Amino acid sequence: MREAVAQKLETLPSAPGVYVMRGKAGEVIYVGKAVNLRNRVRSYFTRSSDTRAFVAVLDRYLFDLETVVVSNEKEALLLENELIKKHRPRFNVQLRDDKNFLNLRLDVKHPFPRLETVRRTQRDGARYFGPYSSASSLRETLRVVNKYFQLRTCTDHMLESRRRPCLLHQIGRCPAPCVFPIAESKYRENVEAVELFLEGRAGPLIESLRTRMKAASSKMEYEEAARLRDQVIALERSLERQKIASPDGVDQDVFGFHREADRLVVYALWIRGGRISGGQAFHFSGQEFPDEELLGSFVNGYYGEEHFVPREVLLPFEPGESDPLAEVLSERKGEKVKVLTPQRGARAELLRMAQDNAARAASERKRTREETEAVLDRLQDRLGLRRRPTRIECFDVSHFQGRALVASQVAALEGEPDKSRYRRFHVKTVGGNDDFASMREVLGRRFRRGKAEGDLPDLIVIDGGKGQLAAAHAAMTDLGVDEVDLVGLAKSRDLEVADRDVESKRSPERVFVLNRKDPVVLNQTSPELLVLTRLRDEAHRFAITFQRKQARKSSLASELSAIPGVGEGRKKALLRHFGSVKKVRLATIEQLAEVEGLGPAVAERVHAHLHHAKDADDEVRTASLEDADEGLPPPAAPG
């Protein structure tokens, strides 16, 4: 730690405020807020089991530290937002362009209001509807409004200066208040219908239109009645496509949060009038700080002074300052705003939808080649590898109580799975559950083939710690392989806590490297660690799937071996003829007798044994269910 930073850490105040981290040239690299500046800032430098230890990142970038003390959390929230806008730090999540949101504005104070497209909302007494996820969805809404509700589309200047009605009046889409003496009350009926339509309130809107249709019909204004009838039909078709998200009809913003190492996606799902009006994904990269800080910082910056604030904001987890955030948003909106983290019910379903959209948006955006190369370069540097790990292979061993002993090999090329190099291994020379010997055998076979074919990876990752790593290194030494880097990746595990009431912590993922006493602890949210853990988890999945398949085969084959008179030869003949034990069980006595070397007598014995075993299993299962209904323990299996 640099001396200037170390000195300031000792004198940090235990008060709410904002801290500013600066880089080598004095530039601001991160701005954060805290209820207690001393506790929050010092937590970044904690070398313990806490996975929020960012000292690896800060060692490279942090050269100075400043703090600003304020009187409460709310002031810290506001100051943080201002400093982020001013300095645009590289490690803060921030909206690059706050002009992405399209809204519709309806100035209800004007005698003849019109709908206009705006990108900013203001406190001017007008009604705002949106935001809309795209220009195409907004244009479709305007098309329906202009076709059926007959609001003017011209500007205020044209309204005052026009002398002749425009084409829209001639095709029946505007009453032309610019020229003709239109009663404001008559025009206001259309304005109120537009408000109901944009709020998604289908029931009151259609009821109102039908009432007007009947009134026009009773006055023998049949053209007007027909127009209103067509309007009702069109609106029913349009509104039935809108999904009802909240029966309360409350305006809500729902935020989904998905993170993969340093890459982050926040998805904003917009609920207006109880209906889903759209959504937008926000992508960020190079994010090393905790989820709670990133989410809180994003939401604080998302609601600028001119952005629409709904009555409810739903978040997937507490940002650490939900109370002051709700207070700030309430001031901006002019009425109470709730910031909620629901765990069940309709609001939790909305959160799940936003989370799914965030994950989908993340999967659609891959790292660029330059970004991937940078990640692999950092991995090489942190682990002290001899070359960039462009090709990585990972190995895992799996067994069930010492039986069905298998291993897996999965591969990655440029950080992405390379399934053409996936392999499965039967462990042949090891009995029992000796993982070390199994790993040595499998790696020996892989190196032997790799040397013969000139096909060796840049890096091999072993699922395990020092023992597995030593076994793999022994296999390399046996075959004289020294051009491949080798590491072991030990899983995170629960740490023992003396106090049972205290929530247990987990150790960080650790990377064991040859000729190093202590493991390397990579930043737990870094893309470098993500490359390794993804590959390790895939190797485990691939191994366990193969092991379970082999265990099922073994148990089925042993079922044939239990039949009197059926030895290894006849068992192989049955499996070769039918392909599986399941098909052997389905075969008739005549079909079994057709197998070479079996004969009618043995066929009858096989058929009787398999069907007796199945019937016995069914009887035990049925009896267990009946006894369970009566609260009795199930009987022991026969035999």
The CATH number of residue 308's host domain is: 3.30.420
Q: Per the domain annotation, does 49 fall within a domain?
A: yes
Query: End of a domain among 27, 58, 87?
Result: 87
Q: What is the pLDDT of residue 255?
A: 93
Q: How does 601-639 read in b/e, with b if 16+ C-beta sit within 10 Å?
A: ebbebbbebbeeeeeeeeeeeeeeeeeeeeeeeeeeeee
Report yes or no on 431 lying in a domain: yes
Token pair belonging to 401: 């109580």
Q: What domain count does the chain have?
A: 4
DSSP letter at 124 equals S
Q: Among the three residues 42, 60, 87, which one is the final residue of a domain in this structure?
A: 87
Residue 390 and residue 514 in one domain: yes
CB contact at 8 A, 102 and 85: no
Q: Domain for residue 152, yes or no?
A: no
Which domain does 80 fall in, by range?
3-87
Residue 126 counted as domain residue = no
Separation between Cα atoms, residue 182 and residue 165, nearest integer Å: 13
Cis, bond preceding 131 (omega within 30 deg of 0): yes
pLDDT at 554: 62
- The pLDDT assigned to 380 comes to 92
pTM of the entire structure? 0.50
67, 34 contact by CB (below 8 A): no
Helix (H) or strand (E) holding 402: none
Q: What is the pLDDT of residues 413-425, one digit of tens each?
A: 888 888 889 999 9
Do 397 and 344 fall into the same domain?
Answer: no
Q: What is the pLDDT of residues 175-232, one digit of tens each?
A: 888 888 888 888 888 888 888 777 766 667 778 888 888 888 888 888 878 878 887 8
Residue 202 domain-assigned (yes or no): no
Residue 513's pLDDT is what? 93
User: Based on the domain organization, do 424 and 568 belong to the same domain?
Assistant: no
Distance CA 451, CA 447 (A): 6
* Other CB atoms within 10 A of residue 17 CB: 26
The reply to whether 475 and 351 lie within a common domain is no
Which residues are paired to 390 by β-bridges?
none
What is the structure's pLDDT at 120? 74
Residue 590 Cα to chain centre, angstroms: 56
- Residues of the chain with pLDDT below 50 are 48-53, 98, 241, 501-503, 614-639
Residues 458 and 400 in one domain: yes
Let me know whether 412 and 529 are in one domain: yes
- The domain that holds 579 is classified in CATH as 1.10.150.20
The residue to which tokens 């029946």 are assigned? 172
E strands, 261-347, are 263-272, 275-284, 312-314, 338-340
Residue 453 lies in a domain: yes
Among the candidates 331, 364, 397, a domain finishes at: 364
Whether residue 245 is contained in a domain is answered as no
> In CATH, what number is assigned to the domain containing residue 54?
3.40.1440.10
For residues 227 and 325, the answer to whether their CB atoms sit within 8 Å is no
**Is 112 inside any structural domain?**
no
Same domain, 389 and 537: yes
Q: Are residues 537 and 566 in the same domain?
A: no
* 398 & 472 share domain: yes
- Residues 398 and 442 both lie in one domain: yes
Residues 414 and 514 in one domain: yes
d(CA 168, CA 76): 53
E-strand ranges in 246-351 read: 252-260, 263-272, 275-284, 312-314, 338-340
CATH code of residue 479: 3.30.420.340
Smallest Cα–Cα separation from 613: which of 602, 605, 603, 623? 605
Beta strands in 275-432 (DSSP E): 275-284, 312-314, 338-340, 391-400, 403-413, 416-417, 423-426
Do 509 and 417 belong to one domain?
A: yes
